[in-house]
Amino acid sequence: MNILETIRIGLQGIAANKLRSGLTMLGILIGVAAVIVLMAIGNGASVAVTSSIESLGTNTLTVRHGTFGGGGESGRTQFKDLTVDDAVALVDPVLAPDVVSATPVVSAAATCTYGGSSYDTSITGTWPSYFGSTNSDIATGTPLTTDDVVNSRRSIVLGQTVIKELFGEADPLDKVVTCGGVPFTVVGTIEEKGSSGFLDADDVAVAPLSTVQSKLTGYGSLDTILVQAASSEVSTAAESEITSILDQRHGTTSEDTRDYQVLNQASLISTVQDTIGIFTVLLGAVAAISLLVGGIGITNIMLVTVTERTREIGIRKAIGARKSAIMTQFLIEAMVLSVIGGGIGVVLALLVTRISVAGVTPVIVPSSVIGAFVVSVSIGLFFGSYPANRAASLRPIEALRHE
């Protein structure tokens, strides 16, 4: 009795009861599709957030003024400003070999107007190195120049969201926009980066640091210093170099009294990925339960099938089918159900994941496709083995007597 014959007999059994076989497959189908789709959504969310963080530059570190959380600590006596001198001091080939550039940044909320349109945005006052550190490519015009900064020129470079709000389709170059009551000439535009959910990377207006400080914010502390590390691999080393330089300059003695904070994009990405990873596992676990339920459905239907076909089993045994032949026949029926169900589930999942859900474009995890399929086949084997064994163990005289 060869295996092809057994498969043929198994397929005949399935074909004999199409509706029931179809519904049983549906259980496995939904389980497999759910595992793949939910994993893909989790993965897609992770990819989206990661790329939005990466669009800010993975090798950048942000030194932020002040502290997070511990605001009212009485122990702090000094609260030094973050200054342009701090930024200059960070670029030190000896003390900070991994730091490529340091860019001071201030920002001011301002309403920009042009013609009849107005738009509330945030004006960033900075140095020309800002564009490199933030991966901002110039689409038209020129970036800011050192000359602009030195002479406190009222030049401004706009992101695509600001342009769309103020100019619509018109060319913004050389036009004069008024931001916070100060007229700026548009010298350049930044290429579109795309918004990713919570963060619109195109909602920016960049002007020279000196201009923004003199006209809008005053000469207080910098908001941030953008530090570019040589690569994302050395960003952790750069972080400790920055900390040691600034601790010295600010006279910081312990972590509790530190009046600034360094945010490392690379570690932010890994934190975010870890978090999303947990959710992905949870989603996958829920889906895996539905796969399990589908598997129980197979056992159930196979038990019904065995009972229903007891007499047929008796006939087969009477004419010489061995226990293993009967066992294989029913196992194969169960496996065919799960393989076809799993296969259609994979196809369905591949189709569904082409649709983006709630702003997240699902990204299929290849291992989840293989995993879900393999699991569905094993489920067929596992959940089919009990009914198959029961069928094979029937005694022929009793099975023949069965009506």
State the residues that interact with another protein by CB under 8 A.
Answer: 1-2, 5, 12, 16, 311-312, 314-323, 325, 395-397, 400
266-284: burial string, b at 16+ Cβ within 10 Å, e else: bebbeebbeebeeebeebb
| Gap between the Cα atoms of 273 and 40, Å rounded | 14
Beta strand pairing status for 117-126 and 205-208? parallel
Q: Which is nearer to another protein, 1 or 289 (CB)?
A: 1
Q: Which is nearer to another protein, 318 or 347 (CB)?
A: 318
Name the minimum Å distance from CB 285 to another protein.
41
Name the minimum Å distance from CB 28 to another protein.
24
**10 exposure class (CB count in 10 Å sphere: 0-12, 13-18, 19+):** buried
Contact 208, 214 (CB under 8 A): no
Q: Which is nearer to another protein, 230 or 400 (CB)?
A: 400
Contact 185, 154 (CB under 8 A): yes
Q: Which is nearer to another protein, 354 or 395 (CB)?
A: 395
Name the minimum Å distance from CB 320 to another protein.
2
Q: Which is nearer to another protein, 282 or 397 (CB)?
A: 397
Q: Which is nearer to another protein, 7 or 138 (CB)?
A: 7
| Gap between the Cα atoms of 104 and 90, Å rounded | 11
| Gap between the Cα atoms of 288 and 295, Å rounded | 10
Structure tokens belonging to residue 88: 């200059």
Name the minimum Å distance from CB 296 to another protein.
27
CA distances from 306 to 17, 215, 260 (A): 13, 86, 72
Name the minimum Å distance from CB 392 to another protein.
10
Name the minimum Å distance from CB 196 to another protein.
57
End-to-end CA distance of the chain: 28
